[in-house]
Amino acid sequence: MAHVSPVRRYRQRRSRSLLAAPLLLFLAVTMLAAGYVAYVLWPGGPVALNAPPMPIMVGGIMFNIEPAAIRMSVQRHAGTQDRVDLAYLWPSLVPPDPAEKTSVGAPLNPNDRLFVTIAIADGALPPIERMKTIYPRYLAPDATAENDGLTARAFRDGTPYQGEDLVYDPAAPESFFMRCARKGIGNAGICLDERRVGNADVTLRFPRDWLVDWKGVAERLDRLMARLHPDVK
């Protein structure tokens, strides 16, 4: 039988210990991180309206959302959800005051609010692909001038988008485009700015009247998207 000296055995044990230490540290950090993610995403009860933004997973994408911005109390919890409905005051982009109540004599003014829906993508083409390949099939040939350099093209009657216009920046149509209704309640209609983030669809709805300052609208919408999901470019 081969004889291993005590010194050699000590060196072997010390070598194994030195190799095991980083592995144990890595496993510990990984377990802590996984535990934290599981904790913050575990569905709980509704949270306080004045709580800080909480993580909500929609379509596998993480969004950071202020509880006060969530319109439905059943959605006001961290974790995985199929859909979240939000509202923000315009132009401040802060959540509405939860103490503010509406009534028959003092109804909600939709012209003061930006409404946002985040939902799992329904399998439709991303908005940019629809703009390139679907919408042109239904558009009237003539274009009209919109606010401050924007262009509007009407969707033909009898199409899925009748009563709406495609409004876009002719200098960069893929960067700024949306569908806008021609008539609304107390305004010129509602615009839909639709965006795809991973496997989640984000729809921002606001009065067409706001497009008088469309560059400011574009800047604020991008700012809000970056706040909801910092990885959005």
The series of mean pLDDT values per 10 residues for the chain, 233 residues long, is 53 54 55 46 65 96 97 95 97 88 67 96 95 97 94 97 97 96 89 97 97 97 96 66
Supply the pLDDT for residue 3: 55
Say how many residues make up the chain: 233
Give the separation between CA 67 and CA 90, rounded to whole angstroms: 18
Supply the pLDDT for residue 34: 45
Closest CA to 177 of 204, 159, 137: 204
> Please, are residues 20 and 28 in contact by the beta-carbon 8 Å criterion?
no
Give the separation between CA 190 and CA 207, rounded to whole angstroms: 4
Supply the pLDDT for residue 20: 54
Tally of CB atoms within 10 A around 182: 14
Which parts of 80-143 fold into alpha helices (H)? Answer: 127-129
With a CB cutoff of 8 Å and minimum separation 6, the contacts of 94 are: 88
Give the separation between CA 34 and CA 20, rounded to whole angstroms: 21
Per-domain residue ranges of the chain? 1-41, 54-228
Closest CA to 49 of 28, 77, 29: 77
Q: How many CA within 13 A on the CB side of residue 5?
A: 3
Supply the pLDDT for residue 173: 94
> Please, are residues 179 and 164 in contact by the beta-carbon 8 Å criterion?
yes
